[in-house]
Amino acid sequence: MRIPTTAALAALGGALVLGLTVAPAAQATPAPADCTTDAFGVAGKYGEFVLGDDVHSPDAEGAVAVGGNADFRGGFSVANELSAAEVDALPGRASLVVRGDLLNGGSATVVMKGNAVVGGQVKDRAVELHNGSFSQKADLIDFDGEFAKLRSYSAALAGESATAGTEVRLDGDRLTLTGTDSGRNVFSVPADRLEKAKEVFIKVPAGATTIVNVSGQEYDMATARTTGFFLSGGQDFVLDDKLQSASGGAVRAKLLWSFPDATKVVKNSQAAWPGSVLAPHAHLELGTAAPVNGSVWVASLHGSGGAETHHFPFTGCLPEVPGTETPSPSTTPSGTPGTTPPATGTPSASVTPPSGSATPSDTPSGSATPGAPAPSASPSQPGEGDLATTGSSNMIPITIGGAAVVAAGAGLVVMARRRKRA
């Protein structure tokens, strides 16, 4: 079949247009170079990871590991929300691990998914398992070694400088943390400042990792009777709860509260606490109502009633070796007791002094799902925003290739016309 020269040119032009349209418009924002999603190792696989005693009822949605005794006399269920893959990733597929004794006082301790491993005695009623097995073993998890690493890591995180552009602002009893980095935002907040907040607002780009380093030996959320945490991934603030969260849970999933020096952390019973809590030296008092919507890694724990731990695992991208660019023996957690580096102190330059009664322009007035305008532009990571990183570098070879295609097409047209004249 003879193809008219005009049709050939049209086809070649169409190929060029297609080549230009399939070129990537933008590249995804790269993760920070010093990034790991497995900073907590074995501990990160558990929703409750406790070095000492855990006194808790009625349930934990994720896996539970207790280095001391487990007092579940109020009745307790474990691991209902775990996926099959999450169960398989646990040591020995054990979603309940108790190094010491398990006390249930005749109430049911139910393991919904996975196995149960207890090192001591089970008093007074056998563990009920839905699709797993029971075994007696005291050394499935090296709690002392894992907590040595957690403490070292938390101390090193405290040395992370507050991210450029972050703001910590206290207006009356309203605390607002604002970050603009699309990869990772680090905040430094003294515990006594956090204790003054009846409402806490956190605004960061959706999908960014958020680290809130809280300095001080004690934090008591009940001091100001904190009632709510409002999150925003760039849109309206949303009061966090199990069934609702900003950006479909993307902000909460990558939110970490780190208490490197605290020996006691108290959650107000009226406030659901979004994000995961790293307080490896502290007793965590959960109260009698409202959950933690994340994981907890603490020295000991007490909670009852609605003070559950909900299964929202931490998925943030954390520094592999906090406070350094290149891992070194002096700062890399080794897992050996006694290797915890001294705390370097908490930066304070990022904390903005109270500005009186002024209210941030994008902070809602206190409704359950307050609104706030979206930011006019998303700040970029270093190196973003120029042509080299928005996909236009890939346009150069396409454009050159396209020009060659057009030239070849023109040559075909000339040859076709010469043959016709001949």
Identify which has the larger pLDDT, 30 or 17: 30
Gap between the Cα atoms of 244 and 232, Å rounded: 12
Q: What residue spans define the domains of the chain?
A: 5-25+399-421
Answer yes or no: is pLDDT of 148 > 80.
yes
Beta strand pairing status for 296-303 and 94-98? unpaired
pLDDT over 70 at 200, yes or no: yes
Rounded Cα distance, 67 and 71, in Å: 12
Least confident of 183-192, 300-309, 371-380: 371-380
Q: For the chain, what is the total number of helices (H) and then of strands (E)?
A: 6, 28
How far apart, in whole angstroms, are the C-alpha atoms of residue 81 and residue 84?
Answer: 10
Nearest to 68 by CA among 388, 283, 252, 219: 283
Cβ neighbours around 127 below 10 Å, total: 22
Average pLDDT rounded to a whole number, residues 389-407: 37
Query: What average pLDDT score do residues 321-325 get?
Result: 55
CA distance 329 to 345: 20
pLDDT confidence of residue 420: 41
pLDDT, tens digit, 9 for 90 and up, residues 209-225: 999 999 999 999 999 99
Is pLDDT above 60 for 232?
yes
pLDDT at 285 over 50: yes
| Confidence (pLDDT) at 6 | 41
Q: Output the pTM of the full model.
A: 0.71
Report pLDDT digits (tens) over 158-190. 999 999 999 999 999 999 999 999 999 999 999
Report the candidate in 161, 108, 98, 106 with the shortest Cα–Cα distance to residue 130: 108
pLDDT band at 38 (very low <50, low <70, confident <90, very high): confident
Share of the chain above pLDDT 90, in %: 66
Q: According to the model, what pLDDT value does residue 31 have?
A: 54
291: nearest Cα among 305, 280, 281, 278: 305
Query: Which stretches within 267-311 are classed as H helix?
Result: none
Say if residue 8's pLDDT is above 50: no
Crossing angle of helices 395-421 and 5-21, rounded to 10°? 180
More confident residue, 113 or 8: 113
pLDDT of residue 146: 97
Full strand arrangement of the beta sheet holding 199-203: 238-239, 228-232, 199-203, 174-178, 167-171, 351-352
> Over 60: is that where the pLDDT of 3 sits?
no
Give residue 32's pLDDT: 62
What spatial distance separates the first Cα and last Cα of the chain, rounded to whole Å? 20
Predicted pLDDT of residue 206? 96
**Run of H or E residues at 4:** none
Q: Per-residue confidence at 326, pLDDT binned at 50, 70, 90? A: very low
Percent pLDDT > 70 in the chain is: 68
pLDDT in tens, 69-109: 999 999 999 999 999 999 999 999 999 999 999 999 999 99
pLDDT band at residue 323 using 50, 70 and 90 as cut-offs: low
Question: Where residue 11 falls among pLDDT bands split at 50, 70, 90?
Answer: very low
pLDDT of residue 35: 83
Band the pLDDT of 361: cuts 50, 70, 90: very low
